[in-house]
Structure 1
């Protein structure tokens, strides 16, 4: 693999471990693949890492959909998609002009902010809202998280933690969370392919490396499926939030 982006055997081993973690995160702890994002960016050139990682994520998305497809909540997905589309367009423009340092700092700050807001909302005791106010609040929240999710997933494949925070704040339980997240990212990541190709992030070399790495996603997904049945709801939520914080700190401190 040395001829592909100059990847050494040790580098390929690290990428393979990151691909396995992608499979695990898609079927167990969404947001944990921010660690994979950091590994890919450390081994490969920053922009190239985004293009290589995207097809790997789609492989994980397909496995997650096959596992949790019956648990998706489609009204939530339809509410999110218009805002996400706007975020993807904004992210494409941003990626065309911003340098790596600006991208990392922006994403890290967004992820930490989302984790903080989610923790604050879950600890705050609120009086029940009137139905009209609650509906308006839900629409505003879906719009804001949707734009941020589209932006972060386009810029650095880092939309997982943002959408995790949204789904947790919306009160999704474990299986509903995983099923809705699986369909969301399969659709959104697939839609990103032409944008990434247009920016030159996906080409023959990146797809060749993807072909070698995709096989490692499968065992990761099986490990995740086995593990999720042993994780209770509270621990699941804590792991998702912790993965989001770690991902945000990695991006800020790199």
Structure 2
């Protein structure tokens, strides 16, 4: 078990932020945990420590948003995400974390930049519908990036946000999606030896902050205007894509 106070200085805020995001903001900030915790431990150890915590958050979030989900989108997304997890597990030894960050960062940045450009031009974003081809593509990418660095939020948001779902329906759909893929990830993480006793004990020490963060997010969700909610989601997606890009470039140059 990790006993370094510096680690917990980064880990506790990371768990709270991710919990708030999963509880009411569509899970878009889930990718922040690994970079923050990587200030004190390796990214791969940070990912292993976060996975059991994410699984607990998912259970709390599913209870908070029970009965609210878009069935059509989940039918499209979930099989694709499981495929993406399989691809991530098989290619884990060949792709570095920096490469994955650059891929997802570029895609998310271009998408959000287009949204804000349309806002400046005062264009109303065209509402889209659930689409098998697009959903399969983004679902696979979400599973792939989620496997390595728990960064499935941006691909998921890129696909779901243009549909302009009711904010509670949107949040409930993402909650179920991430719950399924996080529990699926337990299998390859265990087989690869990433969930060893030291990491699990560290996860257990941080577990108390999981429900605190999620219930805070649920409380915030019920009090945020729907237009503000979507603006916030696009804003968070833009900021996190910038963060991922900077980290990816820095890691490749070092």
Q: Residue 83 of structure 2 corresponds to which residue in structure 1?
A: 86
Q: Residue 13 of structure 2 corresponds to which residue in structure 1?
A: 17
Q: Quick check: 2:81–2:140 contact (8 Å CA) kept in 1? A: yes
Q: Residue 68 of structure 2 corresponds to which residue in structure 1?
A: 71
Q: 1:43–1:76: structure 2 CA closer, same or farther, 3 Å change rule? A: same
Q: Quick check: 1:23–1:218 contact (8 Å CA) kept in 2? A: yes
3-state SS in 2 of match to 1:14: helix
- Structure 1 stretches of 5 or more lacking a match? 129-133
Superposition map of 1:61-210 within 5 A: 61-116=58-113, 123=123, 138-210=131-203
Q: Quick check: 1:118–1:169 contact (8 Å CA) kept in 2? A: no
The count of corresponding residues between Structure 1 and Structure 2 is 243
1:27 aligns with 2:23: yes
- Deviation of residue 107 (structure 1)? 2.9
- Deviation of residue 8 (structure 1)? 2.1
Give me the whole-angstrom Cα distance separating, in 1, the residues matched to 2:160 and 2:71.
13
Give me the whole-angstrom Cα distance separating, in 1, the residues matched to 2:231 and 2:125.
19
Q: Residue 131 of structure 1 corresponds to which residue in structure 2?
A: none
- Deviation of residue 70 (structure 1)? 1.1
Give me the whole-angstrom Cα distance separating, in 1, the residues matched to 2:246 and 2:194.
24
Q: 1:50–1:237: structure 2 CA closer, same or farther, 3 Å change rule? A: same
Q: 1:32–1:125: structure 2 CA closer, same or farther, 3 Å change rule? A: closer
3-state SS in 2 of match to 1:172: coil
Among 52, 55, 74, the alignment partner of 1:58 is 55
Q: TM-score, normalised by structure 1?
A: 0.87
Q: 1:54–1:121: structure 2 CA closer, same or farther, 3 Å change rule? A: farther
Q: Residue 232 of structure 1 corresponds to which residue in structure 2?
A: 225
- Deviation of residue 177 (structure 1)? 0.6
- Deviation of residue 61 (structure 1)? 1.0
Give me the whole-angstrom Cα distance separating, in 1, the residues matched to 2:39 and 2:208.
21
3-state SS in 1 of match to 2:143: helix
Structure richer in helix, relative to its length: 1
